[in-house]
Amino acid sequence: MAINSKKLDEILDLYPSKVKRNRKNHIVVRDTTTVQEIEANTRTVPGIITNRGCAFAGCKGVVLGPLKDMIHIVHGPIGCGYYAWATRRNKAQSDDPKNNYISYCFSTDMQESDIVFGGEKKLAKVIDEVVEIFHPKAITISATCPVGLIGDDLNAVAKAAEAKHLIKILSFNCEGYKGVSQSAGHHIANNGLVEHVIGSGDMEEASGKYPINLLGEYNIGGDGWEIARVLKDIGYDIISVMTGDGSYEELKNAHVSDLNLVQCHRSINYIAEMLETKYGTPWLKVNFIGVQSTIESLRNMALYFGDQDLINKTEEVIAREIAVVESVIDQYRMICQGKTAFCFVGGSRGHHYQGLFAELGIETILAGYEFAHRDDYEGRDVLPHIKTDADSKNIPDLKVTQDEQRFRLKLSPERAEELKEKIPLSQYKGLIQDMKDGTIMVDDLNHFETEEFIKILKPDIFASGVKDKYVIQKMGIPSKQLHSYDYSGPYAGFRGAMKFAEDVANSFISPTWNFITPPWKNEPLLEGKIEEGK
Amino acid sequence: MLDGTPKKIIERHSGGVINPAKTCQPIGAMYAALGLHGCLPHSHGSQGCCSYHRMHLTRHFRDPIMASSSSFTEGASVFGGGANLKTSIKNVFTIYNPDIMAVHTTCLSETIGDDLNSIVQSAEIPEGKIVLYANTPSYVGSHITGFSNMTKGIINQLAESTLEEPKEQVTILPGFVNPGDMREIKRIVKKMDIDYVMLPDTSGVVDSPMTGEFVMYPKGGTTVEEIKDSGNSQITLALGSFASADPANALDKKCGVPAKVLHTPIGIKATDSLLMALSKSFVREIPYDLEEERGQLVDIMTDTHFHFHGKKVAIFGDPDIVISLTEFVLSLGMKPVHVLTGTPGKSFENEINKMLTEAGIEGNVKAAGDLFTLHQWIKNLPVDLLIGNTYGKYIARAEDIPFVRIGFPILDRSVHSYLPVVGYKGAIRIIEMISNALLDRADRDAKDEDFELVM
């Protein structure tokens, strides 16, 4: 049932020749004996039925939206704001619920006249109203497709409004057509937060021990809270989370931490790098999905700080959690053992969940991302070899320099080198390293390929998103949404692993799958006996 | 919940929206295109729109929603998306082989002024295949406008008048309603023994059965032959003026089929009007089956009226649905004191105000409104019941109001799209939903000594 290059060619031959040439570079059958490259972060083939979204979704929907104490105004016609309203499950709670805008949707609702005469004045008025009604501490403005075309100057509007209202107002030129996917939006959001928010707070030193930031964690279904529960038990001082349940107030002081943890490399690595340059804060790639990955991440963190008390406390908490988790996972593994999975998610989970699947005895036989770059597939070592193509060259690269007052070397160069031997400090090895021979890596998987690969490889479960879910289920195959977690969660951390195991096992043993074929399809219409000899 | 929303109303004049009660045109066009058999909707813009629209429809129907996109890049956005659309047409027909591609636009392709007609004219379209198109600028109207525009586009490009005399057949434009509603409307028309063309018809497409096989183009949907034949009908019944009047008028203009615009047949009055229109146009007696259903409905209305009478209601959603719902709750003796749609249109306010005036009720009525406004109204004049789509749940929770989900989208409950709210059957279902909501609340709030077995 494996796919070799001949079989792959047969599938690709069904494409028009131009599409075939394009797509074959985005599909790799894993061969661990050679160094393999994949093409990624290039334009989507028109009409191919991609799963991708746009830069606006990456900026407002993913990175900015979860910041609960900022009002996020979408400058555009109503759709963009509407669809990004409460559809990603980035949970948030506040001591002051009046200052938590997570259930709101703010839009300038551009009309034809705004397209013709420009929407700057309307945007300024909307800001005035929102300030008068809600008194927020900070506002973001996100651009949508037509805004760039008609030439509205968001930055100028933001500056004027900031001077008028004396609160922080940030603008983001994340028009949907920028770049080739959500990824461009991540980059645009990262630039804005580093330039205007992080480091604008007054704190010079963290008050607690082991101050850290958690980057690229959006608290889907409470993931961030489960991770924080364990980190706080160990004794870490979490300065900020970017950006799940995150806040403008916390983010301002993110510069005081001694270490940045990076969960989703794709969406936040820009900030991680810039904070290292600007404040000297190293970053560590972590993965809190799966029991073993969580343990490894906690141990790597302890090793980074190198404090024996911290190392001891880390082991104590791990032992405490394992005592609860192991028997639960064992029980579900009996149901899942020996099954196979496809894992195709945005820009990070396509990799992160493979370990958790493996802990349940499920092998991932196809994996990929909608919009990751080559470094997420092949590891950061390929970064110098990645060429920015014409479609992405207009995404600004923010250059930061050492902050003269606040830069501190958190590690000596010698110690850093020593640690890099042991832990992924400023490093991400990429998805491909964890994939076995014969498995398949697909970038920007589309509907056609989804159907073809399912027909050949017959996975027992397909982890993907809501657009795919019912397509896959119609084929009689369980589909697990790994964006929304099918409205369950958390899936991160120790308790998350248990919840995930339960949900996945239940999807296999649900009685409903037994009813797909009606009984009359398996039985002859007439019953009777054939008498021998007649 | 929604703690930032103050009771004190500050008039807002910016035109901005807080918590919309509408979305943008293309999703309506995508839904309409799904109502054609063998059709793949295509979104001519950047791909974010297409993904959002597919996701949202998927969440409402819990069924696959297929559509392709031109996937604009920055280059195409500046220099035009003609090449993207032509490539899409080639790729879609080669890889996905629909009978029809139905192209709609977004604010992006509209702002840059792509000329769909000339792009499609110069595209290579395989023999026997059809590419339809409609302009659906997101900065005009709402998703209902998009539904209307796509339906109009389908008619303009496909409907034909080929006969000297019209057929004894009705063209039904059901409007932006669920497949369960379309099935119910068809059942009623069949009961009347009248031939029909329903356009669009998403039943059998977005409520398709589980068979163990994924079928990209399910059995349902109006066929090309039927659409063509819609031009031969004796009359068009346009159900819901916002969604259906424009396409009905287009059919009149193109094929001379006279249009009659009716309310979406939600509630007793609107259903009566539909049956009367069918009966009068085709000289058919209304069969006993339907009269029995109506009698059952009135029986239920009478049996239960004391549960509803005088209760204050807030209703929001899409204009055609809300107009009919308002009429129905008035028939039940309730008081619709806040009525709002996000879709612009003075006729909405006029119609609702007329109904309220006739009933002697003073209420807040607004087209092009938002849920922030509705919430503030409710804070100032509390209600006993809220009726609307899923987004109402935040207000219902914040103000502790019994809540009935009717309309689009419903993202947090299942089954709703399979069962009708139209017709007498649908009206009976609505009464059940309303009374369950009110009586569940009465049970919840009752003291032990007031807790009733029989209600």
In this structure, are B59 and B140 located in the same domain?
A: yes
- Over chain A, what is the mean pLDDT? 96
pLDDT band at A533 (very low <50, low <70, confident <90, very high): low
Residue of B nearest to A454 (CA): B214
In this structure, are B293 and B433 located in the same domain?
A: yes
The reported pLDDT for the residue numbered A83 is 98
**B19 assigned to some structural domain:** no
Chain A residue numbers touching B54 (CB-CB < 8 A): 467
Q: Which of B114, B133, B158 finishes a domain?
A: B158
A377 CB-near residues (< 8 Å, 6+ apart): A38, A40, A369, A430, A431, A432, A441, A443
Task: Tell me which H or E stretch contains B275.
Answer: helix B268-282
Q: What is the mean pLDDT of residues B38-58?
A: 98
Number of domains in chain B: 3
B411: domain CATH number? 3.40.50.1980
Bond before A518 cis per omega within 30 degrees: no
Q: For Cα atoms B421, B422, B426, give the angle at the middle one, nearest 5 degrees.
A: 50
In this structure, are B56 and B180 located in the same domain?
A: no
Contact B14 A134 (CB under 8 A): no
**B13 assigned to some structural domain:** no
**B15 assigned to some structural domain:** no
The reported pLDDT for the residue numbered B13 is 96
At residue A532, what is the residue type? E
Around B287, how many Cα atoms within 13 Å sit in the side-chain half-sphere? Answer: 10
At residue A244, what is the residue type? G
DSSP classification of residue A220: B
Active-site entry in A186, A196, A266, A351: A186
* Three-class SS state of B351: helix
In this structure, are B203 and B320 located in the same domain?
A: no
B28 close contact with A: CB closer than 8 A: no
Sheet of B39-44: strand order equals B68-69, B39-44, B100-105, B130-134
In this structure, are B303 and B420 located in the same domain?
A: yes
Residue of A nearest to B84 (CA): A46
The reported pLDDT for the residue numbered B184 is 98
Q: For Cα atoms B263, B266, B267, give the angle at the middle one, nearest 5 degrees.
A: 110
Q: Are B388 and B411 in contact (CB under 8 A)?
A: no
Chain A residue numbers touching B87 (CB-CB < 8 A): 45-47
- E-strand ranges in A329-460 read 340-345, 363-369, 440-443
- pLDDT of residue A534 exceeding 70, the answer is no
Catalytic (active site) residue A266: no
B409 close contact with A: CB closer than 8 A: no
Q: Which of B24, B43, B54 to mutate to test the interface with A (most CBs of A within 10 A)?
A: B24
The minimal CB distance from A46 to the residues B15, B19, B91 is found for B91
State the residue for tokens 């049932």: A1
- pLDDT of residue B135 exceeding 90, the answer is yes
- E-strand ranges in A111-159 read 138-143
Contact A112 B140 (CB under 8 A): yes
B417 close contact with A: CB closer than 8 A: no
d(CA A482, CA A472): 14
In this structure, are B137 and B243 located in the same domain?
A: no
At residue A297, what is the residue type? S
End-to-end CA distance of chain B: 32
DSSP classification of residue A261: E
In this structure, are B250 and B201 located in the same domain?
A: yes
Phi, psi values for residue A101, rounded to 5° = -105, 20
**B76 assigned to some structural domain:** yes
The reported pLDDT for the residue numbered A3 is 85
B260 CB-near residues (< 8 Å, 6+ apart): B235, B236, B237, B238, B248, B277, B281
d(CA A106, CA B311): 32
The minimal CB distance from A78 to the residues B24, B74, B112 is found for B24
d(CA B438, CA B447): 16
- pLDDT of residue B366 exceeding 60, the answer is yes
Chain A residue numbers touching B59 (CB-CB < 8 A): 87, 466
Around B37, how many Cα atoms within 13 Å sit in the side-chain half-sphere? Answer: 12
* Three-class SS state of A356: helix
| Distance of residue A313 Cα from the nearest chain B Cα, in angstroms | 38
Active-site entry in A23, A26, A40, A54: A54
**B423 assigned to some structural domain:** yes
Q: Are B396 and B268 in contact (CB under 8 A)?
A: no
A381 CB-near residues (< 8 Å, 6+ apart): none
Residue of B nearest to A121 (CA): B14
DSSP classification of residue A381: G
A346 CB-near residues (< 8 Å, 6+ apart): A182, A266, A369, A370, A371, A372, A465, A483
**Of A64-68, A151-155, A386-390, the least confident:** A386-390
Kindly report, residue by residue over B162-203, the tens digit of the pLDDT.
999 999 999 999 999 999 999 999 999 999 999 999 999 999
Q: Are A341 and A459 in contact (CB under 8 A)?
A: yes
Kindly report, residue by residue over A279-328, the tens digit of the pLDDT.
999 999 999 999 999 999 999 999 999 999 999 999 999 999 999 999 99
What the block records as the tokens of A340 is 């196979």
Q: Are A161 and A169 in contact (CB under 8 A)?
A: yes
d(CA A28, CA A430): 14
**B371 assigned to some structural domain:** yes
Phi, psi values for residue B451, rounded to 5° = -75, 120
Give the structural domain span for B130. Answer: 25-158
In this structure, are B369 and B392 located in the same domain?
A: yes
- Over chain B, what is the mean pLDDT? 98
Q: Are B75 and A390 in contact (CB under 8 A)?
A: yes
A409 CB-near residues (< 8 Å, 6+ apart): A280
In this structure, are B382 and B417 located in the same domain?
A: yes
Contact B16 A130 (CB under 8 A): yes
In this structure, are B300 and B421 located in the same domain?
A: yes
In this structure, are B133 and B70 located in the same domain?
A: yes
The minimal CB distance from B15 to the residues A56, A101, A111 is found for A111
End-to-end CA distance of chain A: 46
**Of A15-19, A241-245, A526-530, B48-52, the least confident:** A526-530
d(CA B72, CA B78): 10
Task: Tell me which H or E stretch contains B426.
Answer: helix B423-445
| Distance of residue B253 Cα from the nearest chain A Cα, in angstroms | 27
Q: What is the mean pLDDT of residues B317-335?
A: 98
d(CA A70, CA A99): 8
Sheet of B169-173: strand order equals B195-198, B169-173, B235-239, B259-262
Cα torsion B273, B274, B277, B278: sign: negative
Q: Are B168 and B282 in contact (CB under 8 A)?
A: yes
- pLDDT of residue B407 exceeding 60, the answer is yes
B92 close contact with A: CB closer than 8 A: yes
Bond before A277 cis per omega within 30 degrees: no
Contact B2 A104 (CB under 8 A): yes
pLDDT band at A5 (very low <50, low <70, confident <90, very high): confident
B52 close contact with A: CB closer than 8 A: yes
Name the percent of chain A lying above pLDDT 90: 96
Choose among A186, A176, A181, A179: nearest CA to A75: A176
> Using CB atoms within 10 A of its CB, is residue B439 exposed (0-12), middle (13-18) or buried (19+)?
middle
- pLDDT of residue A205 exceeding 90, the answer is yes
Kindly report, residue by residue over B199-235, the tens digit of the pLDDT.
999 999 999 999 999 999 999 999 999 999 999 999 9
Around B353, how many Cα atoms within 13 Å sit in the side-chain half-sphere? Answer: 9
Choose among A171, A356, A379, A169: nearest CA to A269: A379
pLDDT band at A524 (very low <50, low <70, confident <90, very high): confident
Contact A474 B45 (CB under 8 A): no
B7 close contact with A: CB closer than 8 A: no
pLDDT band at A527 (very low <50, low <70, confident <90, very high): low
Q: Are B351 and B327 in contact (CB under 8 A)?
A: no
The reported pLDDT for the residue numbered A433 is 96
At residue A181, what is the residue type? S
| Distance of residue A117 Cα from the nearest chain B Cα, in angstroms | 12
| Per-residue CA distances from A236 to A135, A310, B421 (Å) | 33, 9, 55
Q: Which of B284, B299, B324 finishes a domain?
A: B284
The minimal CB distance from B139 to the residues A46, A110, A475 is found for A110
Q: Which of B158, B192, B224 finishes a domain?
A: B158
Q: What is the mean pLDDT of residues A15-21?
A: 97
Contact B23 A76 (CB under 8 A): no
Catalytic (active site) residue A88: yes
**B17 assigned to some structural domain:** no
| Per-residue CA distances from A423 to A216, A261, A281, A419, B210 (Å) | 19, 12, 16, 6, 48
Chain A residue numbers touching B24 (CB-CB < 8 A): 77-79, 82
Q: Are A38 and A9 in contact (CB under 8 A)?
A: no
Contact A54 B138 (CB under 8 A): no
pLDDT band at A353 (very low <50, low <70, confident <90, very high): very high
pLDDT band at A532 (very low <50, low <70, confident <90, very high): low
The reported pLDDT for the residue numbered A528 is 65
B89 close contact with A: CB closer than 8 A: yes
* Three-class SS state of B28: helix
Q: Are A281 and A410 in contact (CB under 8 A)?
A: yes
Kindly report, residue by residue over B79-118, the tens digit of the pLDDT.
899 999 999 999 999 999 999 999 999 999 999 999 999 9
Strands B17-18 and A106-107: antiparallel
**B431 assigned to some structural domain:** yes
- pLDDT of residue A1 exceeding 70, the answer is no
Task: Mark which residues 422-451 of B lie under 8 Å from A by CB.
Answer: none
In this structure, are B277 and B257 located in the same domain?
A: yes
